[in-house]
Structure 1
Amino acid sequence: MNKVVLVGRLTKDPELFFAKGTGTAVCNFKVAVNRRFKKEGQPDADFIPIVVFGKQAEATANYMKKGSQVSLSGNIQTSTYTNKSNEKAYKTEVVADEVNFLDSKNKNDNSSNGNNTGNSSRNDSRNNDFESASDITPIDDGDIPF
């Protein structure tokens, strides 16, 4: 099974482009992921290239920036190609199928809960739904067949 789950911070702003021919959105970025075991108290990290496609790619490019914390899942993909020097080169990256936006390293964002999703009104509408919960009529447990 080829499954990867990572949590880390973006090392620079994501790059968005659209594939020639198909027009599919493609977003590339690198994530700095802390290693579990450190060398004598010094923090160590790996810098892992990530690629995301479609609507998820557009959302990532629009709402994430350098320093943003992200969790993602996907699979490892390796490929070979010939570079400009006519030498065989290898590339390993994570193709993410799920990207979750966590808090931003820059705490001065306008979002109230630290999530950098770009939709601050979402929290307001959730609170309004919660306040109207007193209008709900309870169900008699005797009517439930199980």
Structure 2
Amino acid sequence: MARGINKVILVGNLGNDPDTKYTQGGMAVTRISLATTSVRKDREGNSQERTEWHRVVFFGKLGEIAGEYLRKGSQVYVEGEIRYDKFTGQDGVEKYTTDIVANEMQMLGGRGGGEGGGGYADRGERPQRSAPPRRDFGGGGQPPRNAPAPAAAAPAAGGFDEFADDDIPF
């Protein structure tokens, strides 16, 4: 078997403003504290909320974008991987940390200022392009014989490469 999978997906709100620092090489490293809340019912039927706090780290261009556009209270979607580290503190005691190293980020919602909507990934260095809608014909991905041919896609807005449905492999 090949490799394992280490993938984390979080949707939550920032508990503080991003903290951006730069390495000696000039790479941005931005840290945020992200709260996720889940709700469940107890035996008596009362709603019980539980909030978890996650340490999220963004590197490079994604770190610059997160530091510039995210603010305390912002809602954000983050994809990344979980990373455990161990270090010895100044007092000689071993300490452990758990971080989410983000490789994708999507700003959600708004706080009245029109925020939200931008999707970013560290490998593309620019906003993510949304994939065209998939056509589901319910037959293993194959259209029925009498189905009309798909129409050409409308030109994409925002200056990204334009393509027609014929260029899509599904």
State the TM-score, normalizing by the size of structure 2.
0.61
Identify the structure with the greater helix proportion: 1
Q: What is the SS of the residue equivalent to 1:16?
A: strand
| Greater relative contact order, per chain length (Cα 8 Å cut-off, separation 6+) | 1
Quote how far apart the aligned CAs of 1:28 are: 0.2
Residue 59 of structure 1, aligned match among 51, 58, 65: 65
Contact 1:64 1:116 in 2 (8 A): no
- Find the aligned partners of 1:32 and 1:2 in 2 and give their Cα distance: 20
Structure 1 vs Structure 2 CA RMSD = 1.9
Structure 2: runs of 5 or more not aligned: 119-155, 158-170
CA contact (8 A) 1:38 1:44 kept: no
Aligned to 1:115: 116
Give the Å deviation of 1:42.
3.1
Residue 30 of structure 1 aligns to which amino acid in structure 2? S
SS at match of 1:48: strand
The answer to whether the 8 Å contact 1:3/1:73 transfers is yes
2:99 maps to 93
Give the structure 2 partner of residue 26 of structure 1: 29
Identity %: 31
Contact between 1:4 and 1:75, CA under 8 Å: does it hold in 2? yes
What is the one-letter code of the residue matched to 2:116?
N
SS of 1:35's equivalent? Answer: strand
Unaligned runs of 5+ in 1: 118-128, 131-146
User: CA 1:98/1:17 → structure 2, altered by over 3 Å: closer, same or farther?
Assistant: same
1:115 maps to a residue whose letter is: G
Compute the displacement of 1:38 (Å): 5.7
Which SS does the other structure have where 2:40 is aligned?
coil
* Matches of 1:15 and 1:93, distance apart in 2: 14
Using structure 1 for the length normalisation, give the TM-score: 0.71
